[in-house]
Amino acid sequence: MVAMSIGMLDSPPKAPVRVKGRRPAHEIIDPDGELVSRWQSGDESAFASLVRRHEQRVFRLLYRMMGNREEAEDVAQEAFLSLHRHGHRFRREARFSTFVYRVAANAALNRRRALGRNRNRMNELKVSQQAGFDLPAGPRDPEDAATGSEVQHRVQAALLELPTDLRVAILLYDIEGQSYQEVARVLGIPEGTVKSRIHRARNTLRDLLRSYVGRGSEGAAL
C-alpha cells in the first residue's frame, strides 16, 4: 500500500477528474510532507523533487493564466524561486500544494500587474492568443483535432477575457480541482467570495462562448 502511494506520488500531478464532493476538507495528510521536511532541513535535492512533482500543476495554472508558454515558463521559474526563498514560511497549516498554488498565483498576479503597466504588451498577448499562437498540446481526440483545437483556442481566449481575480479562482477550482476551501486558502479570501467569483466567472465564460454552448446538445455531461 505504501509502495503504491509512493509510486502515485512520483508521477506528475494530473488535472483531477472531477468528482462531486472533491477531497474532504478535513484531510490533513500531506503527500509532500517528507520532502518538505528534508528540504527545510537543508536538502536541496528534496526541493528539486518538489519542483518536479509540482511543475505540471504550476505550469498548467500559469499557462492558463498567462495564455503564453514563454510567459508561463518565466513566471513558473519565478514562482519556484520565490517558493525556495520563502519556504521557511511554510508552517504546514495547509498542504504544501496549497502553498505552491498560492506562490504561483501570486507570481502570476504580480506578472499580470506588471504587464498591466504596459498596455501594449497586454494587447500583444491578447492578439497572439486570439491568433492561435502558443497552442497547448494537441486535443485528446485526434479525430476531432480541427474542431477541438479551435474550441480550445476560444476557451483560452475567453479565459483571458476574464478579470484576473475571476480567472484565477475558476482555474484553481475547475482546472486544478481545488475545493472551495483550498481556493480560499490559496487566494486568502472567504469561501463565500470564492463561490461568488466562480459563479461570475462561469456566467461570463458562458456568455463569451455562446457559439459553443446552448445549442441544445446533450453531449457535454461532466
Residues that bind other proteins (CB under 8 A): 14-15, 18, 20-21, 44, 47-48, 51-52, 55-56, 59-60, 63-64, 69, 72-73, 76-77, 80-81, 84-85, 88, 136-140, 151-152, 155-156, 159, 170, 174-175, 195, 198-199, 202-203, 205-206, 209, 212-214, 216-218, 220-222
Taken in order 43, 48, 49, 53, the sign of the CA dihedral is positive
Of 67, 65, 106, 63, the C-alpha closest to 83 is 106
Q: How far is CA 51 from CA 42, 96, 174, 192, in A?
A: 15, 12, 23, 31
Query: Whole-number minimum distance, CB 47 to other proteins, in Å?
Result: 8
Is the Cβ of residue 8 or residue 213 nearer to other proteins in the bound state? 213
- Residues 122 and 115: their CA atoms lie apart, in Å, by 6
Query: Whole-number minimum distance, CB 7 to other proteins, in Å?
Result: 20
Using CB atoms within 10 Å of the CB of residue 30, give its burial: 0 to 12 exposed, 13 to 18 middle, 19+ buried.
middle
Query: Whole-number minimum distance, CB 19 to other proteins, in Å?
Result: 9
- Residues 117 and 119: their CA atoms lie apart, in Å, by 6
The single residue listed with the C-alpha cell 502553498 is: 99
Is the Cβ of residue 2 or residue 222 nearer to other proteins in the bound state? 222
Query: Whole-number minimum distance, CB 2 to other proteins, in Å?
Result: 26
Is the Cβ of residue 2 or residue 105 nearer to other proteins in the bound state? 105
Is the Cβ of residue 31 or residue 136 nearer to other proteins in the bound state? 136
Query: Whole-number minimum distance, CB 191 to other proteins, in Å?
Result: 11
